[in-house]
Amino acid sequence: MKISIVGAGNVGSLAAFHIVREGLGEVVLLDVAGALAKGKALDLEDACAHLGVPYHMTASDDISALRDSDIVVITAGFARKPGMTREELLDKNAHIVKDLSLAIKKHAPRSIVIVVTNPLDVMTYLVLRYTAFFPSKVFGMGPSLDAARFRNLISQAVAVSSRDIETTVIGTHGESMLPLPRFTYVKGIALDEFLDDKQVQSLLQRTKERGKEIVSFLGTGSAYFAPSLCVAELVSAIAKDQKRTIGVSALLQGEYGLKNVCIGVPCLLGGSGIEKIIELKLNGSETAALTQSAESLRALITRIP
């Protein structure tokens, strides 16, 4: 299996390492700064050799190197700076994603595309628009990362291993995301059995602001350890045809009463990409919040030529 990662920054290069280490396939690391991609690839090769892991990795600044890829991961683009929202990146990253989408359509027309570039939901929509791929073949990474953050914060609050915690986050990959306490369990027990409403609300807010908090401390750039692991998890679900339910930004075509918008929902992922969109039984307030979240994305989409 050929897996191309476009963007050799922190997220792209670390994702490449996790993917190679798991033996998921041949990895091509692409970046317009060709020397950067080459240097990262050589360093990753040395790391794999140190671990005794077989590897097959190449690097290039030529986008045609993704030719005949089975999976393409888009991490290229500008990262957030302190005080900047994901939405403010829209104008900067839209033209980058458009050019990449057209290249993917030309060189890897049968690929599955995973979008990481922010604002993630809108960029996922743009990739679908410009590639004209089937909706099952294009999705964004966001909700899987948000759910991991929610899970980690709950783990700290209740002193239980994160492996024993199941979380669900839907909506935008932004501050209008919807962590869902009703669909969150600790050792199979409802979250409200462990925490009172005030504590739960605090965790919801911290989850929504987690990315911004990380950016504020880093000063330049944004999170990369957790996002890169989430990318590798998605690639693994496809490469191994795992039939796993994972939250991703997917194009809705009537599900949840929404159409023509990419937004975070749980999906069954396998070898063909999104094999099923899972529709949760939301209550009235959850449905209203998801609809409002979707409308915020539509407003951003209308800004794109």
Which residue carries 């932004």 as its tokens?
174
Phi first, then psi, for residue 95 (nearest 5°) are: -70, -30
Distance CA 67, CA 51 (A): 29
Distance CA 48, CA 21 (A): 7
Distance CA 302, CA 294 (A): 13
Residues whose CB is less than 8 angstroms from the CB of residue 231 and which lie 6 or more positions away in sequence, other chains included: 11, 15, 18, 19, 73, 75, 114, 116, 141
Of the candidates 50, 56, 95, 173, the residue annotated as catalytic is 173
Find out whether 39 and 17 touch, Cβ atoms under 8 Å: no
Distance CA 228, CA 234 (A): 10
Distance CA 294, CA 288 (A): 10
Distance CA 119, CA 293 (A): 13
- Which residues does residue 66 pair with via DSSP β-bridges, in sequence order? none
Q: Based on the residue annotation, tell me whether 18 is a catalytic residue of this protein.
A: no
**In a 3-state reduction of DSSP, which class is residue 225?**
helix
Cα three-residue angle 279-284-288, rounded to 5 degrees: 85
Catalytic residue ranges: 173
